[in-house]
Amino acid sequence: MDTKELLKKVRKIEIKTRRLSDHIFGGEYHSTFKGRGMTFSEVRQYQFGDDVRSIDWNVTARYNEPFVKVFEEERELTMMLMVDVSGSELFGTANQFKKEIITEISATLAFSALQNNDKVGMILFSDEVELFIPPKKGKSHVLRIIRELLEFSPKSSKTNVAEALKFLTNVMKKKAIVFVLSDFIAEDYQNTLRIVGNKHDVTGIRVFDQREESIPNLGMVQMQDAETGELQLVNTQSKQVRNGYGKYYKDRVTYFLDAFTKSGCGVISCRTDESYVRKLLGYFKRRG
């Protein structure tokens, strides 16, 4: 992708996702993810309806009229986007690949954090950590994240969610808001997720395509594993083959839901032909 085409794509995503974050998600994000606590701001004269427990008795005694303490929410938060860039994300039978949906969701979340003056960082992972962008503030930083999401070429096409979560625990010492975006065709990450969930506010966003859920009866078909590159002939006429694949897929989905909910983490499942806007907004409203 040449520079001109890349900048054009970045701009297109910025316009679409920033509009969403400005008009829809900004307030929801703020109310869903609270700051670290309340910090003292100032004192002002008591007004009818103020909580009497807020009265500053020292200032009240000095001026011989009631004054109250005013506190503000300490909003210094950090969002980490953990994005699966393995081979299986380059799949989609509807309007967009899973990767494209994941990019738009990530950009929307990043702009929502930017609007609230929070830091944003990103981890791109396959079966290893491919890229780590430390958390920072500012529009230019968010645009860099979008550029990487659009043009980054991973070394590996495989997936290891646990490895990425371990890396997160090593680099993020303070509590962060963490979104893990993947199709979660993976296993053996629940124990690591439980450790991460105890420290951070974690949400798993599963992006999937409806055609992944089952194999249609198409006769003998040559198929390629998106993550291993392996080619093999598959007899899709065989009911045993179709049922076996269906069970494998269903097991991965069940594992994802169990792993995240039992670890105290949030879950969002979004199909490529569904509105991710509605899914995100519904999640924020439920949590807020």
Q: How far apart are CA 171 and CA 160, in angstroms?
A: 18
Structure confidence at residue 286 as a pLDDT band (50, 70, 90): confident
Query: Two tokens at 40?
Result: 């003292």
What pLDDT does residue 145 have?
Answer: 95
pLDDT of residue 170: 96
Q: What percent of the chain has pLDDT over 90?
A: 45
How confident is the model over 98-116, as a mean pLDDT?
A: 90
pLDDT at res. 36: 54
Contact 159, 206 (CB under 8 A): no
Query: Which amino acid makes up residue 251?
Result: D
User: What is the rounded average pLDDT of the residues 209-216?
Assistant: 81
Tokens of 84: 């699966």
C-alpha gyration radius of the chain = 23
Look up tokens 């430390």; give the residue: 134
Going by pLDDT thresholds of 50, 70 and 90, the confidence category of residue 21 is confident
* Mean predicted confidence (pLDDT) in 52-73: 84
Q: Which residues 6+ apart lie within 8 Å of 75 measured at CB?
A: 30, 35, 116, 117, 118
Q: Calculate mean pLDDT across residues 20-48.
A: 68
Token pair listed for 227: 């993550």
pTM higher than the cut 0.85? no
pLDDT, tens digit, for every residue of 134-170? 999 999 999 999 999 999 999 998 999 999 999 999 9
Domains of the chain (ranges, CATH numbers):
3-32+76-287 (3.40.50.410), 37-74 (no CATH)
Q: Is the pLDDT of residue 233 over 70?
A: yes
Task: Determine the pLDDT at residue 91.
Answer: 61
Q: Which two tokens stand for residue 116?
A: 């609230």
Structure tokens at 123: 């981890």
